């Protein structure tokens, strides 16, 4: 059975409020009735005391004034039972009310005890008091109508009952309004969770009220951002995995083809030696470096690697520069080199050659015809710094943080593996590769000495 949270909040709160209002209203009504009873009893007691000690004759005019003051009726009779004065229209000595048997049941305290009797169809609370004077003794029967007593009681009960009823209605409507408002906000959070589960990661407006539900909405918005990034990362990983499998297979085939081409050129060089074999030597070096780049690609995509070969850093730079200078001439790009002599042995020389070659080739393409590419070296503390810079368009701001990720490229026909391979090679040598931009695009490769 479904038990909505609105009912879980509303019903206990409503029961408590209804019970509280009911108890307060009943208590107020009871105290009001009690106070009315005490006031009427006190008023009648004052009347009885006044009559008992009165020295003036109880004429019809005086009895009328007493009735107007106390709202009670009076019957005055002598010792013989004869009515000598009354405010009742049909009271006389022949009335059953004045029968000695009836009169004997009343005394001064019977009014306080609310002793009832009926006269001419009306019910009264009655009290009897004796009035003594020097010449005679009279008895006065004080009659307070029960209907008047009931009216005064109701007038006392009505205000607290009315206020209690209004408070009860207000409490019910306020409880419904508050519960519906909270329920709507909870439903809004529920719908946001449903959208997240359905793949919609758009953020919802921030609630106006600063409370726990606002915190929940903000947390859900943060969750939507995290989920969106996670899903993009998953899709990118799936794409990267597929491309890694594809590039790994192609790299195997290309490595075999390049190895065959390099061996064939070397055999041709041995059989047909000439006086100037520089072009063939450059071709062999280019094939060798391309083969090393493919090996680096295999290390990145499949974790495959051959035993690394060590070489001097200066020799590695000489090899790379000798390869890229003809390309700079071909692209009409100005190439400069400012190098310090650094006698540092690199444990994986081929990987570093491939990394530097990728960085310089990227710089040549970015600079374009008429551009400038420079390579410089320096020593900083216990590290060797190699910096490749160009005056091309630079890296877009939205790609700076992802530029070293696989398959991220700024070129229309690029694969996006060159910088990833370069950073991997730097890390394999215990160093790092960072991007700096301040008018020029600069890649700084740092290798510990």
pLDDT tens, position by position, 187-205:
888 888 888 888 887 888 8
Do residue 427 and residue 394 come from a single domain?
A: yes
Do residue 26 and residue 137 come from a single domain?
A: yes
Segment 56-109, tens digit of pLDDT: 777 788 888 888 887 788 888 776 667 777 787 665 545 555 554 456 566 666
Domain-embedded: residue 73 = yes
**Between 286 and 15, the higher pLDDT residue:** 15
Q: What is the mean pLDDT of residues 303-325?
A: 79
**Which one of 251, 284, 306 terminates a domain?**
306
- How confident is the prediction for the chain on average, in pLDDT? 78
Domain-embedded: residue 173 = no
**Which one of 306, 323, 345 terminates a domain?**
306
Please report which confidence band the pLDDT of residue 319 belongs to, taking 50, 70 and 90 as the band edges. Answer: confident
Domain-embedded: residue 44 = yes
Q: Which of 224-228, 259-263, 402-406 has the highest mean pLDDT?
A: 224-228
Total length of the chain: 449
Segment 229-268, tens digit of pLDDT: 888 878 777 776 666 666 666 666 677 777 777 777 777 7
Domain-embedded: residue 268 = yes
Domain-embedded: residue 166 = no
Do residue 431 and residue 419 come from a single domain?
A: yes
Percentage with pLDDT > 70 across the chain = 79
Res 372: pLDDT: 92
Do residue 13 and residue 147 come from a single domain?
A: yes
Do residue 325 and residue 281 come from a single domain?
A: no
Res 101: pLDDT: 46
Give the Cα separation of 127 and 108 in Å (integer).
Answer: 5
**Which one of 306, 331, 362 terminates a domain?**
306
Do residue 357 and residue 373 come from a single domain?
A: yes
Res 375: pLDDT: 92
Do residue 297 and residue 316 come from a single domain?
A: no
Do residue 134 and residue 54 come from a single domain?
A: yes
Do residue 89 and residue 226 come from a single domain?
A: no
Domain-embedded: residue 267 = yes
For residue 214, what are the domain limits? 201-306
Domain-embedded: residue 211 = yes
Cβ neighbour number for residue 84 with a 10 Å cutoff: 18
Phi, psi of 365 (to 5 degrees): -65, -40
Q: How many domains does the chain have?
A: 3
Say which CATH number the domain at 354 has. 3.30.565.10
Do residue 301 and residue 334 come from a single domain?
A: no
Give the Cα separation of 124 and 33 in Å (integer).
Answer: 18
Domain-embedded: residue 177 = no
Contacts within 8 Å (CB) and 24+ apart, 143-148: 143/72, 143/73, 143/74, 143/75, 143/88, 143/119, 144/40, 144/44, 144/70, 144/71, 144/72, 144/73, 144/111, 145/71, 145/72, 145/73, 146/116, 146/122, 147/122, 147/123, 148/71
Q: Is the pLDDT of residue 281 over 60?
A: yes
Do residue 145 and residue 277 come from a single domain?
A: no
Segment 145-201, tens digit of pLDDT: 877 877 888 888 888 888 888 888 888 888 788 878 887 878 888 888 888 888 887
Range with the poorest average pLDDT among 43-47, 255-259, 341-345: 255-259
Do residue 375 and residue 411 come from a single domain?
A: yes
pTM: 0.46
Percentage with pLDDT > 90 across the chain = 3
Res 215: pLDDT: 82
């Amino acid at each position: 059975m479904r038990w909505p949270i609105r009912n879980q909040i509303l019903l206990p709160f409503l029961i408590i409020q209804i019970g509280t209002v009911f108890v307060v209203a009943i208590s107020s009504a009871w105290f009001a009735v009690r106070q009315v009873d005490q006031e009427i009893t006190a008023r009648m007691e004052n009347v009885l005391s006044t009559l008992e000690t009165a020295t003036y004759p109880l004429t019809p005019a005086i009895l009328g004034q007493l009735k107007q003051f106390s709202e009670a009726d009076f019957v005055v009779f002598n010792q013989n039972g004869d009515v000598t004065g009354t405010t009742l229209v049909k009271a006389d000595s022949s009335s059953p009310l004045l029968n000695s048997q009836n009169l004997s049941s009343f005394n001064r305290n019977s009014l306080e005890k609310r002793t009832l009797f009926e006269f001419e169809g009306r019910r009264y609370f009655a009290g009897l008091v004796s009035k003594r004077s020097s010449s005679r003794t009279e008895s006065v029967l004080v009659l307070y109508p029960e209907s008047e007593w009931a009216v005064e009681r109701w007038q006392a009960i009505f205000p607290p009952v009315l206020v209690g009823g209004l408070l009860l209605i207000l409490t019910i409507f306020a409880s419904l309004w508050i519960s519906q408002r909270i329920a709507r906000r909870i439903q809004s959070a529920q719908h946001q969770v449903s959208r997240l589960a359905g793949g919609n990661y758009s953020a919802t407006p921030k609630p106006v009220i600063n409370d726990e539900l606002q915190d929940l909405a903000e947390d859900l918005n943060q969750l939507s951002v995290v989920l969106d990034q996670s899903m993009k990362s998953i899709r990118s990983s799936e794409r990267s995995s597929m491309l890694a499998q594809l590039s790994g297979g192609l790299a195997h085939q290309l490595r075999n083809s390049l190895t065959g081409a390099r061996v064939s050129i070397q055999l041709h060089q041995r059989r047909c030696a000439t006086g100037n074999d520089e072009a063939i030597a450059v071709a062999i070096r280019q094939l060798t470096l391309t083969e090393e780049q493919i090996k680096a690609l295999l290390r990145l995509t499949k974790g495959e690697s051959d035993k690394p070969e060590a070489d001097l850093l200066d020799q590695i730079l000489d090899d790379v520069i000798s390869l890229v200078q003809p390309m700079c001439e071909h692209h009409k790009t100005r190439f400069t080199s400012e190098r310090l002599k650094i006698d540092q042995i690199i444990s994986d020389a081929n990987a570093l050659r491939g990394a530097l070659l990728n960085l310089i080739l990227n710089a040549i393409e970015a600079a374009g015809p008429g551009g400038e590419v420079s390579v410089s070296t320096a020593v900083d503390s216990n590290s060797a710094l190699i910096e490749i810079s160009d005056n091309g368009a630079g890296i877009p701001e939205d790609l700076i943080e992802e530029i070293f990720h696989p398959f991220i490229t700024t070129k229309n026909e690029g694969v996006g593996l060159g910088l990833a391979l370069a950073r991997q090679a730097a890390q394999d040598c215990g160093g790092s590769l960072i991007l700096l931009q301040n008018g020029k695009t600069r890649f700084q490769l740092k290798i510990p000495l």
